[in-house]
Amino acid sequence: MRHRKRGRRLGRSSSHRKAMFKNLASSLLLTERETDEFDENAAKVRGRVVTTLHKAKEVRPLMERCITIARKSLQSARDAEEFATTAERTSDEYRTWRKSDQWQKWAEARSPVVNARRRCQQLLGDKEAVTILFDTVAPRFEDRPGGYTRILRLTQPRLGDAGIQAILEFVGKNDRTSTKSVKPAFDTVDDTVEDEPVTDESVSDEVSDEVADETAPEDDGDGDEKKSE
């Protein structure tokens, strides 16, 4: 019995399983890299990978942990920029800054960022993926306390073994937005115009006008011609 044992074995050894999770998490981050039109390995949709449902459920906690570690180090990176320098590493200005107290303050403020990068490097095992994590993905979720990824189950099974497929993607970019139907706006009558009161005199005037119109002789258009003759 596997009481209180977390995770799925997925028919693999522990080393194989850990390497597979690292590669899958790194692949999700590498979809966010900048590519050109001639890159054959460019992702069709950024921030999304397709895998089996069980693998996606196991990789998601690893991806969430890495993003949380990177997100918490962003403030330390901004604090370190106050003591940083823009001089080149081979210049005399850089050597002077390297021996000054400003470098000591920069190194002290930068230490949480270095620690976070080393931790993510240990979890992911890919330097390029770690760079994308800290430069692109983490700033996007800085104000989000958690829930950076989602799993969408696909209806079509995998060809070959009919495995259940799913999409593992970052939230916020491919969100589905629902719009509510708007009720039609009808023309409203101006309430400021007051209706005139109906009296017996007004009704009799309207009736007399209608009778006069009916009894009036019709003009055939020949009267003017006869007079001219």
| Secondary structure string (H, E, C) spanning 112-158 | HHHHHHHHHHHHHCCHHHHHHHHHHHHHHCCCCCCCCEEEEECCCCC
Q: Tell me: the pLDDT tens digits for 32-64? A: 998 877 788 788 889 999 999 999 999 999 999
Instruction: Report, as an integer, the average pLDDT of 122-143.
Output: 95
Write down the pLDDT at residue 229: 45
Extract the tokens encoding 129. Answer: 């993926």
Angle at 197 between CA 192 and CA 203, to 5 degrees: 135
Extract the tokens encoding 135. Answer: 């430069």
Instruction: Tell me the C-alpha distance between 149 and 65, whole Å.
Output: 11
Q: With a cut of 60, say whether residue 202 has pLDDT above it.
A: no
